[in-house]
C-alpha cells in the first residue's frame, strides 16, 4: 500500500472572495422595483395635483358665472343655494367621497372651516349656507359676505394651503 505522503495530492484550495460587483440578479430586480415605485409615486402626486388644480380652476369659473347671475337677478337665496352646491361639488372632487358626501348642517360648516383654517362658516355669517333653505328672506349684505367667504375658501383650497 502506498503511503499518503507519497501520493500526489494537493492541499484544499478555497474559492476566491466574493466580490460585491456585479450584484446578483435579485438586487437588480429590487433596484428596478424601487425606481418604478418612486417614479409611480411622483406620477401619482403630479396627477392628483393636476386634478386638484383643474377642479379649483373650474370652480373659480363656475363662481364667476354664479356672481354674474346674482348681479342680474339680485336673489340672495338663489346665490346661497348655488354657492352651497358649488362648495359641495368641489369638496367631493378634492376629498374622499366617504368623508364629505354625508356631511350636513353643522358638520358640513365645520368641515369648511377646517379646510380654510378659519371659522367663517360655523360661527360667522357663513352659517347661511345651511340655514338659507329654511328662510323666506335673506339679507343681501349677508349673502354677499358669504360669497366673499366662499371665494376665499376656493382660493385657499386652490393654493394647497389646507389643514
- The pLDDT tens digits of the residues spanning 95-108 come to 998 999 999 999 99
Model confidence band, residue 25 (pLDDT cutoffs 50, 70, 90): very high
Rounded to the nearest 5 percent, the helix, strand and coil shares of the chain are 70, 0, 30
Bigger pLDDT: 41 or 4? Answer: 41
The C-alpha cell that represents 142 in the structure block: 349677508
pTM above 0.75, yes or no: no
- The pLDDT tens digits of the residues spanning 68-104 come to 999 999 999 999 999 999 999 999 999 998 999 999 9
For 146, residues 6+ apart whose C-beta sits below 8 A from its C-beta are 79, 80, 83, 125, 126, 128, 129
Amino acid at each position: 500500500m502506498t503511503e499518503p505522503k507519497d501520493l500526489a495530492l494537493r492541499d484544499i484550495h478555497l474559492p476566491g472572495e466574493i466580490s460585491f460587483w456585479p450584484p446578483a440578479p435579485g438586487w437588480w430586480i429590487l433596484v428596478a422595483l424601487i425606481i418604478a415605485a418612486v417614479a409611480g409615486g411622483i406620477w401619482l402626486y403630479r396627477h392628483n395635483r393636476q386634478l386638484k388644480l383643474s377642479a379649483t380652476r373650474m370652480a373659480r369659473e363656475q363662481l364667476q358665472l354664479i356672481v354674474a347671475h346674482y348681479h342680474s337677478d339680485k336673489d340672495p337665496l338663489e346665490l346661497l343655494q348655488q354657492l352651497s352646491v358649488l362648495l359641495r361639488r368641489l369638496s367631493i372632487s378634492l376629498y374622499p367621497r366617504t368623508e364629505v358626501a354625508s356631511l350636513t348642517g353643522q358638520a358640513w360648516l365645520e368641515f369648511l372651516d377646517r379646510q380654510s383654517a378659519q371659522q367663517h362658516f360655523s360661527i360667522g355669517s357663513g352659517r347661511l349656507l345651511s340655514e338659507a333653505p329654511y328662510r323666506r328672506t335673506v339679507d343681501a349684505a349677508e349673502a354677499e359676505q358669504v360669497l366673499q367667504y366662499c371665494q376665499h375658501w376656493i382660493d385657499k383650497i386652490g393654493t394647497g394651503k389646507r389643514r
